[in-house]
Amino acid sequence: MKAISSVLVRVIVKEFYKENTGFFLVVLGLGFGFLKTPQHMDIASALAFRPIYYLVPLGLWVLYTIKTLNFFYRVKRLPENWFLTEVIGLPNKGLKPLVVYIQFLLLFPILGYSIFMTVIAFQLGQINSAIILITSNLLLLMIAGYFLFLQLVKPVDPSISKRLSNWIRLIPRQYPFLFVHHLLHRHSISLVLTKLFSAAVILGATAIFNVEGIDFRYLALGILISSAINANFSFRYYEFEGSALKLYRNLPHSRIKIFAKNSVTYLILSLPEFLVFFGNNWSTSDILNLFQIALILPVVSVLHHMVVKNIRPNQEDYAKYVFFATAFLFFVILGYVPVYILLITLLVMSLAFAHRKNNRE
């Protein structure tokens, strides 16, 4: 059982956390950066006395659980993961606890926080609140585990919906669009969730900026966090170029030309964020400032891409790199460095990486 469990953990759990590095970066940043431990204890205490408000964290936990199930739904349909279905060969008494264990690891962040809230409720003598928390989390784990089990043992064909397929056909097929096609075909759910989450962060940053009204750094930080959320696409693009776009390596394209094409791809991928960003700020802010800030997203994505092409890290090292690069840029922006200087510096660095011999092209 140990070998089966080890493979499932690496294919499902580790890949989930790697893919959602940007998401966890933002959640940790917002949840434990702005709020300190005493504030978490205050919130947990307040909720313990009014258990009806547990519906708020529970709603967020349900959304997170749906995210884990969506992830698995997509991963199961990847051609290389056909072998996951084979676990149906395990007797149910071995398979079901294993699936619950996998789901437990996927839900670990919310279950961990829930244990913290339960301990607080117990300390305050709010036994009913503690029981509500324990029951609701166990229920969430079991229901999610059941759906995971159904997905795991169900034979599936790698496929996309016909409606989506018809719509994708309208998108041009030039080089910069090929990765967009790939994302829409193979990672559509992840793409939509990432863009929704990224848009939510931009809206949050806009709301904070509107309250304060002067400091553009709030918008820049929002776009920077949005680039961290989108960072997994840079890694995927690198993998996609190394597998599906091998053919282009033999064509007489200079590294700079490929760099330009990659950059266009990231501009296309940034369109949803651009729409949200300009749509909410164009009437109240200087358009030139907004334009500079918006470009942080594609420029940082291009930098990530070029770094990956040169260093060729595994996904785990890439997650660490994104974390530290984002943290560094966060403090650079906080330090009142003009955005255009930052953009030029990042572009020059990206070009330097693109021009290096170590680059795949």
One residue of 34, 80, 112, 166 binding other proteins per CB under 8 A: 80
358 binds other proteins (CB under 8 A): no
**H-only helix segments in the chain:** 2-8, 15-19, 21-29, 37-49, 55-76, 92-106, 108-123, 127-153, 162-168, 175-186, 188-212, 217-229, 231-243, 255-269, 271-281, 287-311, 315-334, 339-355
One residue of 16, 17, 82, 104 binding other proteins per CB under 8 A: 82
One residue of 83, 112, 173, 358 binding other proteins per CB under 8 A: 83
Asked whether 158 and 85 are in contact (CB, 8 A), the reply is: no
Stretch in the footprint of other proteins (CB under 8 A) among 49-57, 59-67, 101-109, 156-164: 156-164
162 binds other proteins (CB under 8 A): yes
Site residues (CB under 8 A) for other proteins, limited to 11-40: 11
> Cβ closer to other proteins: 38 or 91?
91
Q: How far is CA 202 from the centre of its chain?
A: 15
6 binds other proteins (CB under 8 A): yes
Please count the CA atoms within 13 angstroms of the CA of 301 that sit on its side-chain side: 29
Amino acid at 3: A
Q: What is the total count of residues that contact other proteins (CB under 8 A)?
A: 28
93 binds other proteins (CB under 8 A): no
Asked whether 220 and 293 are in contact (CB, 8 A), the reply is: yes
One residue of 37, 174, 250, 314 binding other proteins per CB under 8 A: 314
Asked whether 235 and 318 are in contact (CB, 8 A), the reply is: yes
Instruction: Give Cβ neighbours of residue 29 (< 8 Å, ≥ 6 apart).
Output: 225
- For the CB of residue 95, give the shortest distance to other proteins in the complex, in Å: 9
Distance from the first to the final alpha carbon of the chain = 43
Write down the residue that tokens 């530290």 correspond to. 324
> Cβ closer to other proteins: 89 or 112?
89
One residue of 24, 40, 74, 85 binding other proteins per CB under 8 A: 85
- For the CB of residue 344, give the shortest distance to other proteins in the complex, in Å: 37
- For the CB of residue 315, give the shortest distance to other proteins in the complex, in Å: 8
Asked whether 12 and 106 are in contact (CB, 8 A), the reply is: yes
One residue of 69, 111, 134, 153 binding other proteins per CB under 8 A: 153
> Cβ closer to other proteins: 42 or 239?
239
One residue of 9, 27, 43, 87 binding other proteins per CB under 8 A: 87
188 binds other proteins (CB under 8 A): no
> In angstroms, rounded to a whole number, what is the distance separating the alpha carbons of residues 238 and 82?
23
81 binds other proteins (CB under 8 A): yes
Specify whether the backbone of 90 is left (phi greater than 0), alpha (psi in -120 to 50) or beta: beta
Rg of the chain in Å (alpha carbons): 22
254 binds other proteins (CB under 8 A): no
173 binds other proteins (CB under 8 A): no
166 binds other proteins (CB under 8 A): no
Stretch in the footprint of other proteins (CB under 8 A) among 1-9, 196-204, 296-304, 327-335: 1-9
Kindly state the tokens that stand for 32. 């434990």
45 binds other proteins (CB under 8 A): no
Specify whether the backbone of 312 is left (phi greater than 0), alpha (psi in -120 to 50) or beta: left
> Cβ closer to other proteins: 83 or 336?
83
336 binds other proteins (CB under 8 A): no
Q: Which of these, 294, 186, 161, lies nearest to 239 by C-alpha position?
A: 186
Amino acid at 45: S
Stretch in the footprint of other proteins (CB under 8 A) among 88-96, 202-210, 268-276, 324-332: 88-96
User: Which residues sit at the interface with other proteins, rule CB under 8 A?
Assistant: 1, 3-4, 6-7, 10-11, 79-83, 85-92, 153-157, 159, 162, 314
